[in-house]
Amino acid sequence: MIVNGMDVNDKMTRALKVVALFEAGKGLLVLFVGVSLFSFIHQNVQIAAEQLVGHLHLNPAKHIPKIFIEAAGNMTDRRIILLALFALFYSCMRFVEAYGLWFAKRWAEWFALLSGCVYLPVEMYELIKGVTLFKIVFVSINITIVLYMTVMLKQNAKKHVEKKTNLNVLREKSRAGS
């Protein structure tokens, strides 16, 4: 089907590649964080957290910076390693998803849909607690990806049924001709 001089399938494939790049970007960000966490082994993480809060000009007595500093004070080398390994695992999942989406694999479309849906309740809860531009952007991106993956999966399911129907017609014709 041609819309505005461009095949709809080409548009859908391009959009899928944009989602793949977005997922790869998330994977790179989390990979960077995970690798960076290893540098905090045998370090006083609380001091680093206090310096970060100060650098960002946040009030360390306020609720969130205070929680951040306290959590950093409770970090052990073992917890840092576990967090870093979790980040590495998560980034690998994002890279696998990005690879599958780039090459338009059906399993990756399902994975993207399901992983996007998993985050929606948490994102909606956070949005209800307080609306910020940051939260609106993230929820909007996630909803867009979930809706897009739903459309892609429905479109691919329809193509699969059409292929199956065409194969059955061809089989019947070849049997009738035999």
3: confidence class by pLDDT, cuts 50, 70, 90: very low
pLDDT of 122-135, one tens digit each?
999 999 999 999 99
**CB neighbours of 156 closer than 8 A, spacing ≥ 6?**
106, 109
pLDDT value at residue 159: 76
pLDDT greater at residue 169 or residue 111: 111
Using the predicted structure, report yes or no on whether residue 6 has a pLDDT greater than 50: no
Q: Which of 108, 103, 50, 45 is nearest to 77 (CA)?
A: 45
Domain ranges of the chain: 23-100, 105-178
Spell out a b/e string for 126-151, using b for 16 or more CB atoms within 10 Å of the CB, else e: eeeeeeeeebeeebeebeebbebbee
Give me the mean pLDDT over the 140-157 stretch.
91
pTM more than 0.85: no
